[in-house]
A and B are shown apart, each in its own frame.
Chain A
Amino acid sequence: MEKRDARPAREVVVPGDLLSDSGLKAGNGTYVHDGKVYASKLGVKNVFSGTVSVIPLRGRYVPTPGDMVLGMIIDIGPSNWLVDINAPYPAPLHVNEVPWKVEFGDTSRFLRIGDTVMVKILMVDEAMKIQVTMNDSGLRKLEEGQITEISHSKVSRVIGKSGSMIQMIKSMTDCRIFVGQNGRIWVDGDMENATVAVDAIKMIEREAQTSNLTERVKDFMGSRIRPQEE
């Protein structure tokens, strides 16, 4: 394997690889054994301000409080809904956490099985009990558009530095887009443009690790979108 270009070589680590003998603190995706830090996940080694961590390349989405995610209603109870948020566990959405006034047992009038909702992770405890809420600005039930799914580890790439990538896709395709931290992405807009946006997102996922991606995505979308008639 030859060296990669420009940026400091990003090293792929596998579980059990030694990351640090001493000095560095153990971050995410690592474990400590005999005072040494080892990788616990397949990913890319990352050293940042005295902490060594592993950015996972694969794996399930694990919710963290504050994450905005897209969920699907999979079950209805008398006072709550069960939401699938692409995590190993379903997340209950209690009637107190929705912006509507719901009578006991009246839950199915508001959200039905199969509905898609934008929710925020309220709390995750050590037993991995998850609570989600819709009581926050911008959170709602999604009525139109389409959902596409990518690996959650590629979400930050789709968003880009301070939202540069997603802003570009939004402005070029004139679509409304919401990227959930769990890797589900909602795209709504003109049929053809939405397809271009979805293809661009898929392209980002595929080529997430390459440099100069923003430029190439721009070229890609530029070649696909009909010139706007002024």
Chain B
Amino acid sequence: MEFDLSKPQKLLQKSARDVFARECPAKRVRELMATDTALDAKLWSTVADQGWLGIHLDESHGGLGLGTVDLAVVAEEMGRACFPGPFLGTVWAATLLSAAGGKSKFLEPLTTGAAKGAVALLEADGSWNPDHVQLKATAAGGGYKLTGRKAFVSDANVADTIVCVARGADGLVLLAVSAKDPGVKITPTSALDQTRKLADVTFEGVSVAADGVIATGEAARKALDHSLQVATLVTAADMLGGMQWILADSVEYAKTRQQFGKVIGSFQAVQHMCADMLLWTESSRSAIYYAAWALGAEPASAASAIANAKVYVSDASREVANRGVQVHGGIGFTWEHDLQLYYKRSKASEILFGDATYHREQVAALAFDA
């Protein structure tokens, strides 16, 4: 048994860390988050060139053929850098298309970076549970007609391809549309985390041809569930990177900032906050690495491993961010200090794919009701 990253995974970690340190410093993050898209074409092509958009996908689906642990490694480094732009939406969409069989023409451009993607799941009720999807897909010709509104869609504002989760006559339907298709209306929503944008997507009688029908019924649900697990993993790993940054930054600050003639890190009240931050960060790492491994190697445990991780990390990440600000004092509460970027991204990630309360119910259903 080896509960640690392998050598190649450690190399990947280092290379991702170096790339983001070089090409995505906090100054650049701030510039990008102030734009409507948070997208930097050069940064995007760097990530695409590395193959990270499909790092976990099969080579026959345009991926690198590595695993979900490798994906988590990259996502963690993105979180550490507060990497702006549509990575989450694109990887989620690509994973979904791949899980549904990988035959869609929309898939390869997503893994190469030629196209950006988004998955439109949530509706006005804000539910992450696919059972609650109501947006109607009406069979028409060989395809469907879509009418309705999706909300809180990550990265839709820059997406070329949007996979809409809709309800057809026989259950869920996954439909891929081009953002430019007639009747598709994308309205950016201003939100807490400016590094990853949200949008509303309205479908006004959008016609989806047969080649846009990704999956229906059971197959659609299965692919969607898997893609949700992978996207939740990406989010949790992103949070882990953020926690690690906040911990390191806070400990560093505690070692230098002086009050009462001493560095504040010599006071136990501050030390104990830092110790708790380490415990939460490392415990999150255990939960996330395990979930990443289970997702690839032990599919039967994947659902509970992901739910466990999202419960733990959602609370831990918020606590770490809070203690981080507390250790910093006034400066930690300013716009000027980079902590605010991580504080907000952490909160947005806590909400993404369901918070701890949502996932505790998933855990209960899996562990108690079975």
* Bind each other: no
Binding site for A on B (CB under 8 A): none
Binding site for B on A (CB under 8 A): none
